[in-house]
């Protein structure tokens, strides 16, 4: 099944509003405007992804991206839920082919401010995928052992094998985000003074760009998702966690402390995306004030990337084919 077969057979209301400095979504014809009902094809889904994909950081400004955007309300919540379910099912089928072919690996990086929905998005998008084919790595504060190595060491150790999907819940980018906002954390890394200067952040971002170029050249498909939440929505979700006893465990006073650095984080995220966005390692700036839309964009991006690989089981060698024939003959003789 390809993207052209993976089309939404639901009636969708279309109302388009373009965002500044971003690719526009599908437009509505005059007839559609009178009767705003249309099917959303695979081609239009790619246009949807183009709206949030960043492959060149030149001129990138995070302020131009609206956290509350839903592609001009191209898709309403009810239809998005149905499409998400179809996308999850399609992703499951593609993951089986990825595993069988055993040539490519997929790395999905998730970065976000607290309460933007990383955990929920990962859970929903991968709900139908065989757990044996997926590895999720959550990057917390580095351990004493990790601090004794270069900042990419622990990320390199967690990379997915060929045939598998690797999920980084936070990632190597933390070393250019939280550590940049709190430069005192560099002291724990015991770096030589000669390499710990004003250019360290440019050098680290350059190292990440080189690292991702290397991975792409070795057959790793890289997809990076910045779940872009607004400050107001974060506040609402924090209060929800405080007011609902069942969600109290999700709240951390550390999250509230980091909220005080909101503007600083917006700045460092902008710098990181601008410095590392590339065709072989695109960023998706995913609007995250509406969880249903966040999950839809993420599953569409992963499915689209896998579909472009034209996955199919690898061809068997002559010896492997002969071994299968011998096994069949032996079974038939029983």
Q: What is the pLDDT of residues 167-199, one digit of tens each?
A: 999 999 999 999 999 999 999 998 998 999 889
Output the pLDDT for position 120. 95
Handedness of CA 257, 258, 262, 263 (dihedral sign): positive
Output the pLDDT for position 37. 21
**How many angstroms separate the CA atoms of 190 and 170, rounded?**
23
Q: Identify the helix (H) or strand (E) that includes residue 227.
A: strand 220-228
What does the domain layout of the chain look like in residue ranges? Answer: 86-333
pLDDT over threshold 80, residue 152: yes
Q: Identify the helix (H) or strand (E) that includes residue 86.
A: helix 77-101
**How many angstroms separate the CA atoms of 201 and 191, rounded?**
13
pLDDT over threshold 50, residue 324: yes
Q: How many CA atoms lie within 13 A of 133 on its CB side?
A: 23
pLDDT over threshold 60, residue 27: no
pLDDT one-digit tens code per residue, 280-308: 999 999 999 999 999 999 999 999 999 99
Burial of 117 (0-12, 13-18, 19+ CB in 10 A): buried
Listed range (150-154, 218-222, 247-251) with the worst mean pLDDT: 247-251
* Region 102-122 average pLDDT: 96
71 vs 230, more confident: 230
Tokens of 163: 């045939």
The CA-based angle 10-41-43, given to 5 degrees, is 160
How many helical (H) and strand (E) elements, i.e. helices and strands, does the chain have?
Answer: 13, 8
Q: What pTM was computed for the model?
A: 0.85
Burial of 63 (0-12, 13-18, 19+ CB in 10 A): exposed
Output the pLDDT for position 10. 32
Output the pLDDT for position 76. 77
Annotate 289-320 with b (16+ C-beta within 10 A) or e (fewer): bbbebbbbbbbbbbbbbbbebebeeeeeeeee
Is domain 86-333 in CATH 3.30.310.40, yes or no? no
Output the pLDDT for position 40. 53
**Look-up: residue for tokens 């183009």?**
50
Burial of 115 (0-12, 13-18, 19+ CB in 10 A): buried
**How many angstroms separate the CA atoms of 291 and 306, rounded?**
23
Q: Identify the helix (H) or strand (E) that includes residue 53.
A: strand 53-54
**How many angstroms separate the CA atoms of 251 and 255, rounded?**
7
């Amino acid at each position: 099944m390809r993207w052209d077969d993976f089309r939404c057979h639901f009636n969708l209301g279309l109302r388009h509003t373009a965002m500044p400095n971003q690719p526009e979504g599908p437009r509505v014809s005059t007839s559609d405007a009178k009767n705003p009902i249309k099917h959303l094809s695979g081609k239009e889904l790619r246009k949807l992804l183009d709206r949030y994909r960043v492959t060149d950081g030149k001129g990138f400004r995070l302020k131009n991206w609206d956290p509350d955007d839903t592609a001009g309300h191209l898709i309403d919540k009810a239809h998005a839920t149905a499409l998400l379910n179809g996308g999850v099912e399609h992703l499951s089928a593609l993951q089986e082919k990825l595993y069988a072919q055993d040539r490519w690996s997929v790395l999905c990086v998730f970065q976000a401010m607290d309460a933007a929905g990383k955990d929920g998005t990962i859970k929903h998008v991968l709900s139908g995928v065989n757990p044996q084919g997926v590895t999720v790595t959550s990057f917390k504060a580095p351990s004493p052992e990790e601090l004794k190595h270069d900042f990419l060491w622990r990320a390199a150790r967690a990379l997915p094998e060929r045939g598998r999907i690797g999920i980084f819940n936070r990632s190597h980018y933390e070393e250019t985000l939280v550590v940049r906002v709190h430069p005192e954390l560099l002291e724990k890394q015991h770096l030589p003074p000669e390499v710990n200067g004003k250019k360290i952040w440019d050098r680290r971002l350059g190292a990440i760009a080189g690292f991702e170029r290397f991975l792409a050249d070795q057959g790793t498909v890289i997809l990076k998702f910045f779940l872009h939440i607004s400050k107001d929505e974060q506040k609402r979700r924090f209060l929800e966690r405080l007011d609902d006893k069942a969600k109290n465990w999700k709240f951390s006073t550390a999250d509230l402390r980091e909220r005080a650095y909101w503007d600083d984080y917006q700045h460092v995220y902008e710098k990181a995306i601008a410095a590392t966005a590339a065709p072989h390692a695109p960023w998706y700036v995913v609007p995250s004030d509406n969880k249903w839309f966040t999950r839809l964009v993420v599953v569409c991006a992963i499915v689209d990337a896998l579909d472009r690989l034209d996955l199919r089981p690898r061809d068997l060698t002559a010896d492997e084919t002969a071994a299968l024939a011998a096994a069949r003959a032996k079974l038939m003789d029983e």
